[in-house]
């Protein structure tokens, strides 16, 4: 195990941690410009699949962002105005984010896979004043622009289009100086959509401190970054995880980003890159790791890699074991939400327990509570909650955009409710059970899908699975598993029986899947999370 850089003693760090307090804050000035004092300090290293490569220092990022602030200002965009930003992993995505933070515009990143209907919803609901994208999405935006009267500026990259300002041309004559605007700690800064795993994505408001300051714990203690690191995070620019692990977390720590712009995830190429570029830290969703461990890992080398993390979904113990055997590194699980920064983590400062997501992040009082807001004793399943009274932790969102009812619904007494279920063991480790909606109630037992899915994954025939409740006259609900088989295996009655027996052996027998259906793929969100809700609804409709 390589020595963690930023936290040696978890208990001590947790006990002593204090959130910094700011009356005003500007990430562009207080973080980017500070690193830019060293003119050579690398901020990002970008490559694509056509031998193109770009390296930018913090100074270059700052100058480009200041130029773009002048462009935004010339377009009538300023403090508080919503800017919708939809770009693949192009360096301009980073420049534009920093520019919006500098001028105080509210940036709302989205994924390039949005449809015209999604775009209309976002532009209208957010009352967006400006939209920035490339040719791929511009057509879809023009389809609905007539119904979005608040949009006064459209900016396009790498092409020309009527009614759109060309980004690169506008940048040519823009001045590289733009003083950072003084922003209140509670002013709106970022509008992120949740992943939409359980329903429609929710528009989540972050302030100039909740993410820009709050992610200091994400970058320092989970990603374990220092100014000497080259950090690679695979997530799409449209999700909050990009803010966590491709923007605020790393840059607060002065680490450089490695960015690979490609059309689709390629496990072989990803593993090759870990040997080809001096990447020191790597962050991927569990779905990514599940695909990586299907490769022949012995065929690759990991000369500079020292730390790996996963987040977004529960991380199956089997995946951690296989990865560890090949690389010598333990994938450190991180738990959190669009609504928050890192909340619970298998920090590198302590021994991991495979399958547990670890312990609360410094700066957060995270507990497992009951219906009345009482903290539950150890080993009792309940709601994962964050204490918000008397002190609200910095790294928590402000509200759901213009939706006081939805915002009020996530509080219970002194607590913010995550909507997830877990229990805590005698040593303080949290064990994720499932999203509250995903927990299965069978013949009086409560069964979390994660444990059953992890048990299935230990069997060689299983590449991936989703476990949901299926209606049953006798038991109310039964455990049903949708299984994607590993290469070389094919469905059979005998295999159903074998998997059932296998799960009975590795977990409490009552949890075994009474029904198994083999499928070729699982329904997922664009960000790669399993949508159990879809399978469950299908079961109940049958």
Phi, psi of 289 (to 5 degrees): -65, -35
Rounded Cα distance, 131 and 75, in Å? 11
Contact assessment for residue 418 and residue 343, using Cβ atoms and an 8 Å cutoff: yes
Judged by beta carbon distances under 5 to 8 A according to partner kind, the member of ligand ATP, Mg ion, none in contact with residue 313 is ligand ATP
Stretch that binds ligand ATP, among 12-20, 35-43, 134-142, 335-343 (CB under 6 A): 335-343
For ligand ATP, which residue of 88, 109, 110, 201 counts as binding (CB under 6 A)? 201
Judged by beta carbon distances under 5 to 8 A according to partner kind, the member of ligand ATP, Mg ion, none in contact with residue 356 is none
Judged by beta carbon distances under 5 to 8 A according to partner kind, the member of Mg ion, ligand ATP, none in contact with residue 246 is none
Phi, psi of 383 (to 5 degrees): -85, 135
Contact assessment for residue 314 and residue 286, using Cβ atoms and an 8 Å cutoff: yes
Answer yes or no whether residue 386 interacts with ligand ATP by CB under 6 A. no
Residues 509 to 538 in contact with ligand ATP, rule: CB under 6 A: 529
> Which residue, 188 or 195, is less far from ligand ATP as judged by CB?
195
Rounded Cα distance, 213 and 249, in Å? 9
**DSSP summary character for residue 461:** T
Going through 202-356 in order, the beta strands assigned E by DSSP cover: 203-207, 230-233, 256-261, 281-284, 307-311, 331-336, 342-345
Nearest Cα neighbor of 281 from 201, 203, 221 is: 221
Got the DSSP string for 16-53?
A: H------SB--HIIIIIHHHTTSTT-EEEEEEETTS-E
For ligand ATP, which residue of 197, 235, 245, 280 counts as binding (CB under 6 A)? 197
Least CB distance to ligand ATP at residue 193 (A): 8
> Which residue, 187 or 339, is less far from Mg ion as judged by CB?
339
Answer yes or no whether residue 311 interacts with ligand ATP by CB under 6 A. yes
Stretch that binds ligand ATP, among 75-83, 181-189, 296-304, 306-314 (CB under 6 A): 306-314
**DSSP summary character for residue 216:** H
> Which residue, 33 or 339, is less far from ligand ATP as judged by CB?
339
Stretch that binds Mg ion, among 117-125, 192-200, 233-241, 277-285 (CB under 5 A): 192-200
Judged by beta carbon distances under 5 to 8 A according to partner kind, the member of Mg ion, ligand ATP, none in contact with residue 196 is ligand ATP
Q: How far apart, in Å, are the Cα atoms of 284 and each of 81, 267, 297, 310, 333?
A: 32, 11, 16, 5, 10
274 SS3 class: helix
For ligand ATP, which residue of 219, 238, 334, 382 counts as binding (CB under 6 A)? 334
* 58: number of Cβ within 10 Å: 25
> Which residue, 254 or 336, is less far from ligand ATP as judged by CB?
336
> Which residue, 46 or 415, is less far from ligand ATP as judged by CB?
415
Rounded Cα distance, 431 and 280, in Å? 28
Answer yes or no whether residue 359 interacts with ligand ATP by CB under 6 A. no
Least CB distance to ligand ATP at residue 117 (A): 17
Contact assessment for residue 130 and residue 78, using Cβ atoms and an 8 Å cutoff: no
Answer yes or no whether residue 360 interacts with ligand ATP by CB under 6 A. no
Answer yes or no whether residue 431 interacts with ligand ATP by CB under 6 A. no
Residues of this chain that bind ligand ATP (CB under 6 A): 194-199, 201-202, 240, 311-314, 333-335, 337-338, 357, 418-420, 432, 435, 529
Binding residues for Mg ion, rule: CB under 5 A, are 194
């Amino acid at each position: 195990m390589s020595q963690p850089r930023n936290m040696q003693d978890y208990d001590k760090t947790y006990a002593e941690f204090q959130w910094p307090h700011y009356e005003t804050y500007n990430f562009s000035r207080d973080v980017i410009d500070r690193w830019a004092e060293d003119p050579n300090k690398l901020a990002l290293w970008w490559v694509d699949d056509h031998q193109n490569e770009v390296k930018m220092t913090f100074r270059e990022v700052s100058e480009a962002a200041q130029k773009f602030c002048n462009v935004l200002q010339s377009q009538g965009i300023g403090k508080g105005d919503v800017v919708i930003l939809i770009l693949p992993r192009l360096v301009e995505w980073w420049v534009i984010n920093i520019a919006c933070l500098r001028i105080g515009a509210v940036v709302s990143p989205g994924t390039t896979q949005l449809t015209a209907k999604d775009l209309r919803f976002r532009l209208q609901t957010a009352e967006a004043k400006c939209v920035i994208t490339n040719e791929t999405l511009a057509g879809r935006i023009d389809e609905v622009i007539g119904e979005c009267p608040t949009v006064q500026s459209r900016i396009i990259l790498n092409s020309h289009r009527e009614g759109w300002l060309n980004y690169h041309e506008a940048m040519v004559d823009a001045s590289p100086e733009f003083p950072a605007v003084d922003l209140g700690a509670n002013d709106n800064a970022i509008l992120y959509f949740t992943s939409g795993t359980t329903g429609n994505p929710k528009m989540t408001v972050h302030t100039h401190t909740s993410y820009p300051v709050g992610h200091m714990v994400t970058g320092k203690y989970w990603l374990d970054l220092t100014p000497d690191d080259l950090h690679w995070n695979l997530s799409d620019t449209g999700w909050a995880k990009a803010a966590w692990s491709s923007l605020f977390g790393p840059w607060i720590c002065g680490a450089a980003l490695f960015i690979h712009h490609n059309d689709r995830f390629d496990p072989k190429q990803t593993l090759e890159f870990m040997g080809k570029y001096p990447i020191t830290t790597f962050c991927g969703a569990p779905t990514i790791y599940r695909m990586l461990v299907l490769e022949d890992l012995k065929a690759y080398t990991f000369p500079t890699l020292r730390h790996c993390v996963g987040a977004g979904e529960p991380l199956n113990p089997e995946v951690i074991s296989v990865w560890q055997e090949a690389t010598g590194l333990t994938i450190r699980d991180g738990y959190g939400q669009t609504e928050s920064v890192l909340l619970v983590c298998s920090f590198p400062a302590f021994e991991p327990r495979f399958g547990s997501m670890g312990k609360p992040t410094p700066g957060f009082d995270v507990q497992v509570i009951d219906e009345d807001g009482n903290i539950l004793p150890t080993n009792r399943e309940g709601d994962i909650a964050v204490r918000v009274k008397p002190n609200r932790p910095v790294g928590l969102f402000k509200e759901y955009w213009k939706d006081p009812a939805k915002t009020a619904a996530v509080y219970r007494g002194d607590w913010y409710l995550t909507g997830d279920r877990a229990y805590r063991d005698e040593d303080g480790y949290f064990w994720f059970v499932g999203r509250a909606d995903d927990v299965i109630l069978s013949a009086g037992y409560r069964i979390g899908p994660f444990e059953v899915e992890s048990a299935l994954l230990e069997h060689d025939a299983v590449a991936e699975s989703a476990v949901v409740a299926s209606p049953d006259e006798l038991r109310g609900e039964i455990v049903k598993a949708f299984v994607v088989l590993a290469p070389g295996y094919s469905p059979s009655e005998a295999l159903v029986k074998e998997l059932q027996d296998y799960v009975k052996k590795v977990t409490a027998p009552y949890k075994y899947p009474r029904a198994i259906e083999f499928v070729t793929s699982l329904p997922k969100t664009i960000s790669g999370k399993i949508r159990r809700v879809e399978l469950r609804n299908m079961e109940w409709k049958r």
